[in-house]
Structure 1
Amino acid sequence: MMIQLLELFRLISHGGLFFGLHLDGRTVFPPPLSAAEERECFEKMSAGDREARNRLIKHNLRLVAHIIKKYYANSSDQDDLISIGTIGLIKAVQTFDHTKGTRFATYGSRCVENATQSQRTFSRQMM
């Protein structure tokens, strides 16, 4: 978890990602990638292209916001959940197998949901 947080902060601090998610209804996200663009990015990422990885993350931030807004609309810790969800998204991009023929959003949404659910469970146990 700590390594993932450090990776997220490194991406943000080096300008690899613009991270300004707030669920106020005014946030404009990059449009989702088409299936062909998504496949191309994963192929480039497999060859070591970090820009393709960053593009996949950036174009799927809408997915994180959608999940947090859907499941945690009244939560006071939305900003924390967005951060946790983004870490889940980064993990999903790194572990997704694009050769299986499914769209990334199917896999990515489960990773984001799992990350936020795990954090909520952990937070409750700490109380």
Structure 2
Amino acid sequence: MSTKQLLKILIGAAWLDGKVQPEEQHYLQRIAQQKWLLEDPDLKPWLYGLRSVSTEECYRWVDEYLGRRPTPADCQSLLEAISGLVYSDGEVDSAEARLLMQIQQKEADLATSPDLHATLVRAIQKLYRKWVSQY
């Protein structure tokens, strides 16, 4: 998970309400400067408001960032980063809230679903014990 990917998600989250607020723009540029990405040619059009980000793009970036098997820590880290942005202008738009809720739901789903690897290991151990006890 790269810093550049995370910044793209933050840019996308800023666009969710259809317009990047001045406080959000300042926040994004400050983060980009801290991470040495302010002059990145891929990010520059978004950082300076020259290109908008669709809702679909933002959600796709989130899915790419988290991958197929994110950890609860991955989700929590992303939630914290996006929260910093969405609260920077003092308002949380409903589209921004939906994104936060979707990530929270992914985190909750991870906490309640059993780890496939651990489940498989337990099943194999059970079969092995059963096999050993028969002989």
TM (normalized to structure 2)?
Answer: 0.28
Which of 1 and 2 has higher RCO (CA within 8 Å, sep 6+)? 2
Question: Larger Rg: 1 or 2?
Answer: 2
TM-score by length of 1: 0.29
